[in-house]
Amino acid sequence: MNEPIRVSEEVSDAVAAGRPVLALESTIFTHGLPRPRNVEVAARGERVARELGVVPATIGVVDGVGVVGLSGGEIERLAHDDDVAKASVRDLPVCAALGRNAGTTIAATTLLARRAGISVFSTGGLGGVHHHASTTFDESADLVTLAHEAIVLVSSGAKAILDIPATLERFETLSVPVIGYRTLDYPGFYVRSSGHRLTSRIETPGQAAEIFRASQALGLPASVLIANPIPEADSLDPHDLDAVIEEAWAAAEADRISGQATTPYLLDYIRRATGDRSLEANVALYLNNVRLGARIATALASA
């Protein structure tokens, strides 16, 4: 069996030299976006980071190996693989043994990024607690990994299909700080506010870097979550979205969708029901998070 992790030379050199590096996940283009938009957005995210002077490290699994710093060809390969897996942390050893290709979730991306020495990661929406989790125990592995792997994670809140108050409660229990970027309203993924309040906010990327440094100095194991709202011009109407989400859940139940298939199914339903407006919102918030993550990475590297 090959080594389970391979770090690209560009990423390895940048980390060793203390230059800013930004981790980017792969499930957004393996499972989150339709073709050919998926490859376009993956390339654009990397380009945004580079324009801000930051090395992008897109992370995925190729032939069983966790790759930190996918090449353009590897991104194309994963994005067009009809059998590509969706790998969380528990799946990485299985992919390694079986030589599988996989897009990495937030949990798996965080773990691989930390093993490569990367401290900042930008994504779209977080995993969290699903509705009815009190009986199904359906909670994302992102929660547990973020409690034990320390990274600055920039997102636009938990995905809109989740139980947001329960997710925030779990983060509190797990001692994972959630900090609003220029807001005290926890973002609602496609909308700027989920209707739930946060206790802390920051105004600059430098403040995010300082919080992470303080967390590390205290020896705390958890990540620092930066909640960055979708730009106003790109957000959806909250009332319309609520109705579509209810329809999506009803359809998933009727089709007996469960487990890892749930999130892609629901997001695809929402995309079709909104006439692709949710897709455009997803892309806009993702690129906005890449910009903020790149600036935080720069601030962290400049200390």
Rg (CA), the chain: 18
Cα–Cα distances in angstroms (integers) from residue 17 to residues 13, 150, 244, 291, in the given order: 6, 20, 48, 22
d(CA 45, CA 289): 9
CA-nearest of 124, 138, 143 to 31 is 124
Catalytic site residues? 25, 159
Residue for token pair 């979708």: 230
Longest dimension (CA), the chain: 53
Give the number of other Cβ atoms within 10 Å of residue 44's Cβ. Answer: 14
The secondary structure element, H or E, covering residue 287 is helix 277-301
CA-nearest of 217, 208, 205, 206 to 177 is 208
